[in-house]
Amino acid sequence: LIELDRRHLIHPVSSYRGHEYLGVRVLKSAKGAVLTDMDGHELVDGFAGLWCVNAGYGHESIVEAAAQQMRELPYATGYFDMGSEPAIRLASELADRAPGDLDHVFFTLGGSDAVDSTVRFIRYYWHCKGQPQRDQFISIEQGYHGSSTVGAGLTALPGFHAGFGIPYSWQHKIPSHYSYRNPAGDTPEAIIQSSLAALYAKVEEIGGPERVAAFYAEPIQGSGGVLVPPKGWMKAMRDACAALDILFIADEVITGFGRTGPLFASTEDGIVPDFMTIAKGLTSGYVPMGAVLMSDRVYQVMADGAGPVAIGHGYTYSAHPVSAAVGLEVLRLYENGLLENGRRAGARLMAGLETLRDHPLVGDVRGRGMLAAIELVVNKKKKTPLPAEAAPGRRIFDRAWKSGLVIRAFANGVLGYAPPLCCTDAEIDMILDRTRKVLDATLE
Ligand code: PMP
């Protein structure tokens, strides 16, 4: 398998840039929060796959929901005026639970095409409003909004741009709220004020609010290294956008579905965005699905149909009945103990990671609920990053793997945690113990 993989399978990151081929890690099976590889080696999944398997692995009721739907109706297009019961019910259940008037749902295959879809809808919205010149989009450094061409452009991680001719000229960025090394200081008020100032300055640079279509933010920046904004940051940015009539998109692809505690992080942030993008935990990773939740206020403008042409946007697998059936079952699980277990396990994870602050390599500990990170440095006082040759990435990932732990080791010295919400106390403790061992081995 390792040889076939090397010859034929392209991995999004490691297959390019002349990386030394270290061999793929092939998984065989999984149950709960525990993975088993081809050699029978067991590992705790500290990252829920790619921040998605919130319910954990091997849930019979999810498998049964998918199998039952496949038997009854494996496919129904959501493109034309046709549909299926699970897709309609899931849309309705999501609208019931989403904050405010996010009442309208457009299903996609994952998070990237959900983000792409918002760009299409937003451009159309401004056409309908008679302001097509509002065609500029703003997002944030260290933000991640997908790997599709438009999503990668809104993403501000250099690897997603270099060599691809993106971002486009209509995609702009403001600095992150990253608090551990923020030039504005580390108090919440200073960070919020500097983000607001950066937003206003960027809007002016673009040509004023009448040129700006929308602003994108993650409630917690995930792939940028789990960067948690100060309390009140999302609300301040949301209110500033509302005052400028700029649409506000909360990208909850990672933070949705209990990752930070509630079903949606926006609820905790006390905001109602104009759009919300979701994926990952929506189906707990068992089958692909994402969605755009659109506010009624925006929907009514588009539905009135003053746009240039009838809107033509959708995918063969939009509103897929099997994915929707899985989504409905996963939603039932969240509300029958899974969210609650995630909150309990998240408190244990955060408390445990806090105890690592005394480790000589740990510069910062941050997170909310079951979404957390530690940032490694060689000099805590000066916050000096690890030298490139010792930085995480494949090396720490390998060390963790050998000790029976899967975590995300970002290249900049950040270790990310997003375990399944079903984790037991013992599994959280295993994640913490193994992390300490990996850090000690890194010191040597
Ligand atoms: N938005 C955010 C905030 C994400 O974290 C991700 C994926 N990590 C995406 C969008 C893209 O989702 P997908 O990989 O399902 O296309």
pLDDT, tens digit (0-9, with 9 covering 90-100), for 288-303: 999 999 999 999 999 8
3-state secondary structure of 404: coil
Residue 239 shares a structural domain with residue 214? yes
Residue 216 CA, ligand 1 centroid: distance in Å? 13
* Residue 6 binned pLDDT confidence (cut-offs 50, 70, 90): confident
Residue 359 shares a structural domain with residue 401? yes
Residue 119 shares a structural domain with residue 209? yes
Residue 130 shares a structural domain with residue 180? yes
Strand 34-37 versus strand 405-406 pairing type = unpaired
Q: Among 301, 333, 365, give the residue marking a domain's end.
A: 333
Average pLDDT estimate for 301-320: 83
Residue 71 CA, ligand 1 centroid: distance in Å? 30
- Atom 12, ligand 1: residue with shortest CA distance: 111
Atom of ligand 1 nearest to the CA of 109: 15
394 has a pLDDT exceeding 90: no
Beta carbons of 193 and 184 less than 8 angstroms apart:
yes
Contacts of residue 219, defined as CB under 8 A and 6 or more positions apart, other chains included, come to: 229, 234, 250, 252, 255, 260, 265, 266, 268, 269
* pLDDT of the residue at 390: 63
For 23, other C-beta atoms within 10 Å of its C-beta total: 11
Q: Among 305, 333, 361, give the residue marking a domain's end.
A: 333
Show the tokens assigned to 114: 């959900």
HEC secondary structure over 154-211: HCCCHHHCCCCCCCCCCEEEECCCCCCCCCCCCCHHHHHHHHHHHHHHHHHHHCCHHH
- For the chain, what is the domain count? 2
Show the tokens assigned to 349: 């994870």
Atom of ligand 1 nearest to the CA of 279: 15
Residue 112 CA, ligand 1 centroid: distance in Å? 6
Atom of ligand 1 nearest to the CA of 110: 15
Residue 277 shares a structural domain with residue 171? yes
Residues with CB under 6 A from ligand 1: 110-112, 115, 144-146, 218, 222-223, 251, 253-254, 279, 290
Residue 47 CA, ligand 1 centroid: distance in Å? 14
From CA 300, how far away is CA 285, in angstroms rounded? 32
* Residue 17 binned pLDDT confidence (cut-offs 50, 70, 90): low
Distances (CA, A) of 49 to 11, 171, 254, 425: 15, 30, 12, 19
* Residue 158 binned pLDDT confidence (cut-offs 50, 70, 90): confident
- Atom 7, ligand 1: residue with shortest CA distance: 146
* Residue 171 binned pLDDT confidence (cut-offs 50, 70, 90): very high
ω into 167 cis (within 30 of 0): yes
Show the tokens assigned to 63: 């498998």
- Atom 13, ligand 1: residue with shortest CA distance: 111
Residue 349 shares a structural domain with residue 249? no
Beta carbons of 439 and 361 less than 8 angstroms apart:
yes
* Residue 112 binned pLDDT confidence (cut-offs 50, 70, 90): very high
Residue 144 CA, ligand 1 centroid: distance in Å? 7
Which one of 116, 160, 253, 289 would you pick to mutate in the ligand 1 pocket, going by the greatest count of ligand atoms within 8 A of its CB?
A: 253
* pLDDT of the residue at 23: 79
From CA 323, how far away is CA 329, in angstroms rounded? 10
Average pLDDT estimate for 64-78: 96
Distances (CA, A) of 186 to 108, 191, 194, 200, 231: 38, 7, 11, 21, 12
Residue 38 shares a structural domain with residue 70? no
* Residue 99 binned pLDDT confidence (cut-offs 50, 70, 90): very high
Instruction: Tell the residue number behind the tokens 């913490």, with chain if given.
Output: 432
- DSSP letter for 221, please: B
* pLDDT of the residue at 308: 65
Residue 69 shares a structural domain with residue 52? no
- Condensed to tens digits (0 to 9), the pLDDT of residues 331-349 reads 999 999 999 999 999 999 9
Residue 253 CA, ligand 1 centroid: distance in Å? 6
Atom of ligand 1 nearest to the CA of 221: 3
- Atom 1, ligand 1: residue with shortest CA distance: 145
Residue 302 CA, ligand 1 centroid: distance in Å? 26
Whether the complex's predicted ipTM surpasses the cut of 0.90: yes
Average pLDDT, the chain: 94
Atom of ligand 1 nearest to the CA of 112: 16
Show the tokens assigned to 163: 């060599």
Residue 217 shares a structural domain with residue 277? yes
Global confidence as pTM: 0.97
**Reduced to 3 DSSP states, what percent helix, strand and coil does the chain have, rounded to the nearest 5?**
40, 15, 40
* pLDDT of the residue at 16: 56
* pLDDT of the residue at 358: 95
* Residue 310 binned pLDDT confidence (cut-offs 50, 70, 90): low
311 has a pLDDT exceeding 80: no
3-state secondary structure of 304: coil
The CATH number given to whatever domain includes residue 436 is: 3.90.1150.10
Query: Which residue segment(s) compose the domain that 135 sits in?
Result: 62-333
- 416 forms beta bridges with 373, 408
Percent of the chain with pLDDT over 70: 95
Residue 169 CA, ligand 1 centroid: distance in Å? 22
Cβ-defined contacts of 157-164 (< 8 Å, 24+): 157/223, 157/224, 159/13
Q: Determine if residue 103 is left, alpha or beta; phi over 0 gives left, psi from -120 to 50 gives alpha, anything else beta.
A: alpha
Average pLDDT estimate for 225-245: 98
The CATH number given to whatever domain includes residue 254 is: 3.40.640.10
Residue 323 shares a structural domain with residue 263? yes
Counts for the chain of helices (H) and strands (E), in that order = 14, 16
Which one of 116, 118, 254, 255 would you pick to mutate in the ligand 1 pocket, going by the greatest count of ligand atoms within 8 A of its CB?
A: 254
Q: Among 333, 361, 395, give the residue marking a domain's end.
A: 333
